[in-house]
Structure 1
Amino acid sequence: MGSAGRQRVLLGVPGLDDLFIEGVPRGSIILVAGYPGAGKTTLASQFAYAGAASGEPSLYVSFVEPRDDFIDNAASFGMDFRPLEGRGAFKYYEALSVSDPEALGDVIEDVLSQVDSMGAKRVVLDSVTAVEQLARDPPRAREIMHSALYLGLKRRGATSLLIAELPFGAESSPIGPEEFIADGVIVLKYRVVKNKLERYAEIRKMRGTNVEYASLPYAFTTRGVEFPPPLRPEALPSGARHERACKLGRLTITPGMGTLILYDPSVDPVQFSAYYLVAPAVALGLRTRYGSYIHGTTSLRDVLATCGDLLQGKLNNLVAESFEASSMTIGEAELRTYASDRDFRPDLIVVEGIHLLREFNTLDDYTGLVYRTLLRRASMGIMTFHLYASPREGAWDVPLSTYYDNVLYLYVKDDRLVLEPLRVWGELVPPREPVLTGSLEADCRSILMGGGGWQVLQVLRGQR
């Protein structure tokens, strides 16, 4: 039967299952290679746990780690294998004492017998690197790996993960034949970027599965290894319909629109962000996220507190948070952003000081993160404001400045905040009147009472 007609299984790894949509063909053999500490064992644990917990008995064969260490490490990520062991849904096969090729052959035969006796539907071999080292003779190792494991497991219909060690800095698996025989190859890597370990996975192949993204960031979370979900461009709105639009001064903002506000580096954007964007949005009942890379959460809440009773009873619509750009990896930033957007479902997001995230990451990493974030939020109908410190003459050197729907410039002139348009709805605009101006002395109450912030327009479907 071809792969199109085979049953499919989910791996149990958040984000990665979204990438494969319906899962991988049952009976696939997937090679998971990676650097030391990249998360291979954690990912394999998630695979085994998901199977055992959902009625697919799982066998974990380890040549490298005692059972108790494995159980304790898995528990730290919320996976308790002990009850599953108790009811026969999971078995940990410890093969640490194997020391010669003859004993290795016996162990492999015993493993296949264990698969039969427990009816295992998922098998993990940790690791094929250890098997090769124990076999000593490369031809003998290939014979064991191909005949006993590949053919043995495939004939039994077990979906299997084979773990392989990849020396740090190596670009390909040193195992050789396994990478070509396996149905799928996932390589977990990391690189050091400004004192941070940026983790990313390469999906080399996955037979019977359409994989649109060959490389993805990932991070360790409380659930183990986790990937941001892949983008689905087909989910993007057409832009022809919307139920609510907002006005910022003379500029109309619609759901899903991304706006970049560049500001003079001498300006602290907190007053503008809080008084002209966040507070008016909250006062109007919009669910709002307010984040900053340059101010702490206490500072954000203190500046909003000056709005007094105008926000009373509506602060449950506000999430204020601060970020530490020097320690947050791209994978962590994307997962945190996605989880917050998914759980809180904001109408509006304001993030100030995002240039610091650029300073602590490579250009490619930063650009990929912001692009994916904007695209995902567009599909969710979330209005996004990013505030980025930059001289005016460097506006078009800012990453993705030509991708945002709107690009504005914020500066101070004659003791007044001035916000001028540079690009609106993707088109450059000639010099014209500012979108808005405001006194530096104005407080939150006067701005809200005077209508200087947002105005909500109810727009009927199909109407301009």
Structure 2
Amino acid sequence: KSISEGYDIIVLDSISVLLEPVIGSSEKRSWLLNYFYQLPVLLNGLLILVAELPFGEEKLGLGSIEFIVDAMIILKHRVEDGFLTRIIEVRKARGAPIHIAETFFSITEDLGISVFTPPVLAELPVEGGEVKLVCKYLKETAGHYHRGFIINIFYPPGPGIGLEVFLGILALAIINNMKALVISYTHPSLIIRENIKNRLVMSGLSSEKAERVLEKYMIITALNPHAHSLTQLVARELAIIEQVKPDIVVFYGVHLARDHITGLTTYLKELFNEIMYLKSKRLIDIRIGCCLDEYSCNVETTLADVTYKFEKVFREDGSIDTRIYVYRRFKEPRVFMGNYVNECVKEWIEVIREYAEKL
């Protein structure tokens, strides 16, 4: 009846109940399998067979049905970092090479199944064109940036770290006509936005102009890294990036995202694939956080194009100075004092103010 009514797709759910009774009879099983094999030809369409995978098993155990199908997809799940992670495995796809066997998927209301394509590149990408820097001290130590650069900024532990860096990112976006996306792991987007805005107002901008500058050049969002497994977190990040389509991606509070992952090897693998994917898209990747684990920070430094590491120097008279160590690829490390940052902040604010006056 289905064939006579002219359907293009037939879904049989479930084939398990049909095959289980004939597993012991090779003749009946062969007849049934041959029927399924010929049915798509008669349909001139698509036949989808749904089977239940026994819990804990990796194969169906329904005879040779796995060998006659053109494609075989396995849906399963596992617990990762305490969260349920849904996995889709492409076990077979006739005529098509399979480079990635497993990947993450989600089931969303009103959307259905969404499959996450992992950012795995066969070859390492190169960066794009050079971008302008604001601040002569940055030019002296880091030289220059390119689209696709990976930049680490590590601070000593403390609340609300790196607020001045957002001014530098904003100035970088303005002078190069870019858009920056900030993904925060530590503070809500409203808190970060208000603090940047207040800093601009303190520098002489009106509240309205500060708001308009932020509106045009910086989008801020926040994710709770402890509410996702590592795979889910990467998927959420890349989905946001794909939606916003920024030129600069800022991950704020990366120490929290790093610290809750149980397997460092898994984290570094996901990190490397993600930053290489962003580099292939010519996105400047800026990662801001604390060095809670010196080993992890050292590894991440080796992956970056530029790393700025802030350290506090406590003097005998009770004063505190800041030193910034700059690691630029293929160059000897440089160091400059914290007062240089103040000079950079002045230049950043001047660029922002000049643009704001044109609004």
- Counterpart pick for 2:324 among 401, 408, 419: 419
Residue of structure 2 equivalent to 1:293: 185
Seq. identity, %: 20
In structure 1, stretches of 5+ residues that fail to align are 1-112, 453-464
More deviation, 282-291/361-370: 361-370
- Counterpart pick for 2:309 among 393, 399, 409: 409
- Counterpart pick for 1:349 among 249, 269, 272: 249
Do residues 261 (structure 1) and 149 (structure 2) align? Answer: no
Please show how residues 199-238 of structure 1 align to structure 2 within 5 Å.
199-222=86-109, 223-229=111-117, 231=119, 233=121, 238=126
Conserved? CA contact 2:129–2:147, under 8 Å: yes
User: Shift of the alpha carbon at 1:125?
Assistant: 1.7
User: Shift of the alpha carbon at 1:144?
Assistant: 5.3
Structure 1 Cα separation of the partners of residues 129 and 147 of structure 2: 7
Structure 2 Cα separation of the partners of residues 234 and 246 of structure 1: 31
Please show how residues 1-400 of structure 1 align to structure 2 within 5 Å.
113-114=1-2, 116-133=3-20, 137=24, 139=26, 142-143=29-30, 145-222=32-109, 223-229=111-117, 231=119, 233=121, 238-239=126-127, 242=129, 244-246=131-133, 249=138, 250-251=141-142, 252-266=144-158, 268-277=160-169, 279-284=170-175, 285-306=177-198, 307-308=200-201, 309=205, 311-314=210-213, 315-361=215-261, 362-363=263-264, 365-391=266-292, 393-395=294-296, 398=299, 400=300
Change over 3 Å in CA distance of 1:350–1:282 after alignment to 2: same
One-letter amino acid of the counterpart of residue 171, structure 2: P
User: Shift of the alpha carbon at 1:128?
Assistant: 1.8
What's the CA shift string for 1:216-259, capped at 9, x where partnerless? 222234522212335584897644x5163435723222101112
Give the TM-score taking structure 2 as reference length. Answer: 0.78
SS in 2 for 1:448: helix
One-letter amino acid of the counterpart of residue 210, structure 2: L
Do residues 432 (structure 1) and 311 (structure 2) align? Answer: no
One-letter amino acid of the counterpart of residue 373, structure 1: E
SS in 2 for 1:262: strand
One-letter amino acid of the counterpart of residue 150, structure 2: G
User: Shift of the alpha carbon at 1:288?
Assistant: 0.7
User: Shift of the alpha carbon at 1:336?
Assistant: 2.7
What's the CA shift string for 1:281-306, capped at 9, x where partnerless? 45544201112111112221121121
User: Shift of the alpha carbon at 1:320?
Assistant: 0.7
SS in 2 for 1:147: helix
User: Shift of the alpha carbon at 1:431?
Assistant: 4.2
Conserved? CA contact 2:324–2:335, under 8 Å: no
One-letter amino acid of the counterpart of residue 227, structure 1: V
Change over 3 Å in CA distance of 1:272–1:313 after alignment to 2: closer
User: Shift of the alpha carbon at 1:147?
Assistant: 1.9
What's the CA shift string for 1:1-35, capped at 9, x where partnerless? xxxxxxxxxxxxxxxxxxxxxxxxxxxxxxxxxxx
In structure 2, stretches of 5+ residues that fail to align are 315-319, 353-359
Structure 2 Cα separation of the partners of residues 138 and 313 of structure 1: 75
Conserved? CA contact 1:287–1:348, under 8 Å: yes
Structure 1 Cα separation of the partners of residues 32 and 308 of structure 2: 60
